[in-house]
Structure 1
Amino acid sequence: MNDEKKDLIKIIKQNFPKLSKGQKLIAQFIMDNYDKAAFMTASRLGEKVGVSESTVVRFASALGFDGYPKLQKSLQELIKTKLTTVQRVEMSRDYSNDWAVLNKILKSDIENIRNTLDEINPKSFENVIDDIVSAKRIYIVGLRSSTAITEYLGFYLNLILDNVIVVSYGISDVFEQIIKIDEEDLVIGISFPRYSKKTYEVLEFAKKQGAKVVSLTDSQLSPIATLSDNTLIAKSNMASFVDSLVAPLSLINALIVALGMREKDKIKRYFDKLEHVWKEYHIYDDKE
């Protein structure tokens, strides 16, 4: 079974009649509380509904999953798009105190970076660098919560290259900003749950114009990944009402540095000039 491509709730409903009594208790709990169940261990889930851990494991198998971790992963993929902000706030109430928040969030971000490193495709990373170097123009689009890292990527790419355009909400519509895009151009799309529909539409338009599309997102199943020639995956799992953009930002840092290494001489000349400007106009506090 391709676990991540199926809606878990639909799978549960289809299999519900043939489940055992204990398994039906698990199924009903998940359907009613999928936001909570997604982060429960098999033992904790069994305890919550009054069945054994082994019953939970057999329940996963009955649905066609190769173990409970696979089922849990499918459930976590499901809630990325189904959870409302209100539900995310409710999940955050499980944090007992300020230290618990700090501990949980930092550990979650560490795990996201670790999983990103484990799953990143080195060839895709290299291909994206090649795409950036060879493009006539580079458009970067990432709206809603992705705006922050979109602007960050645009800022540093503009220090290295002369052909970077950051697409954002402003005086002109986003489509007006990319109307000149063609087959020699590259568009970099950035989108994380809850995925921005407008970002998808911009990339879809660019694709129709023949432009090459690169995406930075959290899964090969994300909407913009289906449009992309190359996709970079950065994990952003977070049991909270805020989006975790630590791993995506770390991946962007790697992208910027790798690109900079290909343009070392150009960057050195550029920054030598900038240093004189910064010093002359007192851009930074250089008190000794």
Structure 2
Amino acid sequence: MQVEFHFARNFKLRPLTPCSLGVILCRRLCASHPIGPPCHRRVCPRLRPSRWRTPTVLGTAPSLQVDWQNRRFCSIVLHQADTRQAHAVRKEVTVSENECNEFSELVRAHFDSLTKSERRIADYILRNSDEAAFLSAAELADRLGLSEATIVRFAHTLGFAGFPELRACLQDLFRRRVSHAARLRKKLAEISPESHILEQVVAMEMEYLTDALQTVSRDAFDEAVRLICGARRIFVYALSGSATLAELLQHRLRRFGLEVVLLTQSGREICEPLLTLGSQDVLFALLFFNLSDVMEATLAYAKACGARVILLTDTLGPLLREHTDVLLEAQRGPVMAFHSLIVPMAIIQALIIAVAMADKEKSLATLDKLDEIRRRLSFDVPVRIWWREKKGSG
């Protein structure tokens, strides 16, 4: 049997048994591990070599230099070779920055009060924080083979009002850690040289569009249409790249005779347009992935004014639910993907058509009036008429 390992903190190992190896590694890691102190008299379950029986001589094999305070990546790789079975089993134990954040400190503070099942939940979340941040309580319970009530009790034990608040905390930590460059790097890695990039990207977006049908509530969509049609004015709020979607929605709804106010300003400039926001108005917000204090304050102010708030988002629902009347959640692909605006644009297009359908006569009459105005102002004079008039004057 051969055991190899790579670790960040360099120290020499003497001949030792597999169990003592587990204890040493456990002490070295768990001293700074977020879910508890050193295990001392038992082998850490993260490193327990269940089939190791013979002593093994190991030497130092440093491969990484890790600054634990700066939360850089560290991994320990254990290889077990069984000559009798003529195969090798490779085990990886990873300690990453996922385990070094505010949530892990919270788990450590409440570790003694956690039950065995709750410690399983904590360990799973710490190891799979990117995924767990976007799972529902039912989905997380299914992954661990536990009841949904156990998941909720775990959230209560940590001091959260419920699981949605716990998930909102995890999502906030995730957004602060994941950069645009990391997501683009992942997207580029998914591109295969075997087929054209155009074909692959279109196929991905088609898949995301299909998945969006499962995440957007039909009842919420219909309620959004009803609020838009009944509003005195629609304030469309979006920033950065999402502003293009806001401009599209404003452009189309105005053609149906609706009064639309575009809110794409940042900083203090957004305050003046909000002066006239009232209880008969609707704030339609398009916010994706990142959330700022100004965004949340804008939605909270709209609710305080009595306006109805519609939010189209991908992952911000749990964070902004209390400030919204209608939530349209549209997943734009995996959370670590480099997202496009195709999915929300399709939903915007569906809303535009639905608003037109809600009052066909008014929508068509308004468009006819627009054509008449254009004709009178000579913006859309047919070519044949222009050519005939030119020949007659010549």
> When the two structures are superposed, what TM-score results if normalisation uses the length of structure 2?
0.52
Match of 1:248 in 2: 344
Q: CA deviation at 1:266?
A: 1.2
Q: Name which of 149, 156, 170 aligns with 2:252.
A: 156
| Correspondences of 1:241-280 after superposition (within 5 Å) | 243-278=339-374
Deviations 1:240-288 (A, max 9, x none): 885321111111111110110012111212222333445563559979x
CA distance in 1, matches of 2:187, 2:212: 24
Match of 2:281 in 1: 185
Contact residue 129 and residue 259 of structure 1 kept, 8 A: yes
- Cα separation, partners in 2 of 1:239 and 1:208, compared to 1, 3 Å: closer
- The runs of 5 or more residues in structure 2 that have no matched partner are 1-32, 39-43, 50-70, 74-88, 93-118, 135-170, 385-394
Residues 123-132 or 265-274, more deviating: 265-274
CA distance in 2, matches of 1:140, 1:50: 53
Q: CA deviation at 1:224?
A: 3.4
Contact residue 317 and residue 329 of structure 2 kept, 8 A: no
Match of 1:3 in 2: none
Deviations 1:18-56 (A, max 9, x none): 543289xxxxxxx967xxxxxxxxxxxxxxx9439xxxx
Please provide the CA RMSD for this pair: 3.9
Is 1:125 the counterpart of 2:221? The answer is: yes
Contact residue 184 and residue 211 of structure 1 kept, 8 A: yes
Is 1:14 the counterpart of 2:40? The answer is: no
Q: Name which of 223, 226, 231 aligns with 2:319.
A: 223
Match of 2:186 in 1: 91
- Cα separation, partners in 2 of 1:119 and 1:242, compared to 1, 3 Å: closer
Q: Name which of 51, 60, 74 aligns with 2:91.
A: 51
- Cα separation, partners in 2 of 1:274 and 1:101, compared to 1, 3 Å: same
CA distance in 2, matches of 1:138, 1:74: 36
- Cα separation, partners in 2 of 1:93 and 1:264, compared to 1, 3 Å: closer
Amino acid at match of 2:213: L
> When the two structures are superposed, what TM-score results if normalisation uses the length of structure 1?
0.69
Number of residue pairs aligned between Structure 1 and Structure 2: 245
Contact residue 81 and residue 193 of structure 1 kept, 8 A: no
Contact residue 141 and residue 167 of structure 1 kept, 8 A: yes
Q: CA deviation at 1:91?
A: 2.7
Q: CA deviation at 1:82?
A: 2.8
* Higher Cα Rg, which structure: 2
Q: CA deviation at 1:169?
A: 2.2
- Cα separation, partners in 2 of 1:148 and 1:242, compared to 1, 3 Å: farther
- Cα separation, partners in 2 of 1:239 and 1:217, compared to 1, 3 Å: closer
**SS of the counterpart of 2:352?**
helix
Contact residue 309 and residue 325 of structure 2 kept, 8 A: yes
Amino acid at match of 1:85: H
Contact residue 235 and residue 284 of structure 2 kept, 8 A: yes
Residues 86-95 or 117-126, more deviating: 86-95
Contact residue 135 and residue 186 of structure 1 kept, 8 A: yes
- The runs of 5 or more residues in structure 1 that have no matched partner are 1-11, 24-30, 34-48, 53-60
